[in-house]
Chains A and B, each alone.
Chain A
Amino acid sequence: MMRLPWFEYRAPRSVAEAARILAGEGPGAMLVAGGTDLLPNMKRRHQSPSTLVALRGVDELKAVANGAGLQLGAGLTLTEVVDTPAVRERYTGLWQAAAQVATPHLRNMGTLGGNVCLDTRCTYYNQSYEWRKAIDFCLKKDGETCWVATASKRCVAVSSTDTAPALIALDAKARLASVGGTREIAIADLYRNDGIDFLARKPEELLSAILLPEANGWRSCYWKLRRRGSFDFPVLGVAAAAKLAADGTVEAARIALGAVASRPFLVPKAGEALVGRKLDDAAIGEVAGAVASRAKPMDNADMNLYWRKEVVSAFTTYALRELRGDDMRAERLRTARQALAA
C-alpha cells in the first residue's frame, strides 16, 4: 500500500472557522475538499502538510444562489455542478467542462473549488517518490533542475483544470475568504504562469465561491483534448463564449485556453477580432489561427507536442462552430466519445 504521510486532521464547520485555522496553522496547513488531487499527491510526497483542513463539513460551501448571475459554492462536487439545471441551461461551457473532468466516481468526490485550485502537472512530477528520486527530483519539488527545459529557472508544469478555462471565457469571479474578510477577483487573475507558484491565492485564503455573471444572451462551450474518453486530464482545453445579436452578428466574445501553459488564459485579441462580424467560416478560420499562435504547449504532458499544438486551431474552429449553432455531436463523439449536447 502507498501510505499517506501523518497529518493532523481538522474539520471546521464554517468558512470563518476554516479561515481561522488556516491563519493559525500557517503554511504547514493545506485545505482538502474532495481529496482527489491532494491525496494522490500526498501519497507520492508532492505535498506533506502537517495539518489538513477538511472542507467536507462546511455546508456554506455547498450553496447555489441564483441572482443577477449564478453563485456556485466551492464545495459543490462536480457531479452537483453538472446536475445544476442553471449551469446546464445558461453556462453550457462550464457544464461541458465539469462533465468531462475525470470519471463519474471522481466527479462524485472532486469539488469545483479543488478543480479550480488543482496542482499543475508534469510527466517528471506526477510520479512516485522513488521514480522522482531516481532522476534526482526536479525544480517543482525537492530538486534543482527542470527536466522539461533544463535552462529554465521557472517550472513549466501544466495547468490541467478543465473548469478554469470555461470560467475565464464566462468572465467568472472567484470569492476568496480569510480572517481579514473576503475579496472577489476575476478568475483569470487567480492564476500565475508559474508551475510552482501558480495561484494568486494567499496561503491564508480559501476559495469560497465562484460567481458567474448574468448569462444574458451569452452562449458558451468547452472542447477538451485527451487520450481516452474518460479518466485523462486535458492536454488542451478550448473554451469560447459569445453574445450574438438576433442576426448572428457577434456583439462580444471571449476565448480561453487551458493545458497549454502553467495557467489557463484568455486570448483577448481573438474575442475582439470577432466583434461586429458573423461567425462565418472566414472569421472562424482567422480567429482559430490567432488562437493557435498563442498556445505554447511544452513536452511534459501526454501526446505528441507538435500535434497538440496543431489541434488548437481545429478545436477553436469546432468551438466557434458550436457557438454559431452547428450540430457538432459527430465531432464530439469522434474526439471525446461524448455528445455533450446541453
Chain B
Amino acid sequence: MNAGVEKGVAKAVTLRRNVQIELQVNGEPTEVSFAPYKTLLELLREDLDLPGTKHGCELGECGACTVLLDGEPVLSCLVLAVECAGRSVETVEGLAQGTRLHALQAALTDLGGSQCGYCTPGMLMTAKALLEREPSPSRERIREAIAGNICRCTGYQQIVDAIESAARELRAGGETAR
C-alpha cells in the first residue's frame, strides 16, 4: 500500500517482558521498568512506591485515582503506564514542601473537607489543576471541576469551601497556609 510509510516504525512491546520508560514524577526524572499491562495507578503504587494516589473502583467511576498528567487531571486507573513515557506526572506526594502543607491541603484540613480521606488525594489534584487554570473560580465552577471526584463523607460543601479558601490564600501570594 502506501509507499511513503517507513517500515517498522511501530514500537512493539514484546509480550510478557517488562518495558522501561522515563518520565517525570513530581518534578523528578524517573526511570522505571514494569509489566506492560500496568496502568499508571499500578505503576505509581506498586513500582514507584507512591501509595498516596488511591484506588477505588479502578473503572473510572470514582476519581480517587486522579493525578495530573502534563498538568491535566486524568484518572490514573485508566491510563496505560506505557503511554506516560516522556510525560510529567504529579501526585499528592508532590504537594507539600517538606513539612509545609500546600494551601489546598491546609484548607481541606482546617475546614473539614477531608474525613475518611480516601477521596482527598484525587480531590486535591483536581483542585490544584483548577486553580492553576482559574485562580478565582466561582463555587459553580468548583462544583463542575470536582464532578468526577466522589466523596462519601463530607457532602462536598466543606470541600468547595476549602477550595475557595485556598484560592484566596494562593491569590494573596501565600504558597502555604502554615
Contact = CB atoms under 8 A, between A and B. Distances in A.
Contacts of A1: 42, 55, 58
Given A10-B12, A43-B58, A106-B60, A16 B78 contact: no
B1 A40 contact: no
Interface in A10-34: 10-14, 16-17, 19-21, 32, 34
A9 B37 CA distance: 9
A6 interface: yes
A20 B2 CA distance: 9
Contact of A11 (B5, B11, B61): B11
Interface residues of B, number: 39
Given A9-B82, A36-B78, A105 B5 contact: no
B58 A105 contact: no
Given A54-B80, A105-B148, A106-B75, A11 B16 contact: no
Contacts, number: 110
A13 B9 contact: yes
Nearest to B11: A11
Chain A interface helix/strand/loop/mixed: loop
Contacts of A56: 83
Contacts of A34: 78
A312 to B, nearest CB: 26
Interface stretch (B23-31, B66-74, B94-102, B160-168): B66-74
Given A103-B148, A108-B74, A35 B79 contact: yes
Interface string B1-21: 110110001111111100100
Nearest to A39: B78
Contacts of B10: 10-12, 17, 21
Nearest to B122: A105
B63 interface: yes
A246 interface: no
Given A11-B10, A35-B78, A103-B63, A6 B147 contact: no
Interface of chain B: mostly helix, strand, loop or mixed:
loop
Contacts of B2: 16, 20, 179
B5 A17 contact: yes
A104 B78 CA distance: 14
Contacts of A247: none
A267 interface: no
A202 interface: no
Contacts of B148: 102-106, 230-231
Nearest to A18: B10
B14 to A, nearest CB: 8
Interface string B32-62: 0000111100100000000000010011110
Contacts of A35: 78-80
B147 A3 contact: no
B78 A40 contact: yes
Given A9-B80, A39-B78, A105 B39 contact: no
A10 B80 CA distance: 12
10 tightest A-B contacts by CB? A103-B148, A230-B147, A105-B148, A9-B13, A40-B59, A4-B37, A16-B2, A179-B1, A2-B58, A10-B10
Given A20-B1, A105-B126, 8 more contacts: A4-B37, A6-B36, A12-B9, A40-B78, A104-B147, A104-B148, A180-B1, A338-B144
7 contacts: A1-B58, A7-B37, A13-B9, A40-B78, A104-B144, A105-B66, A179-B2
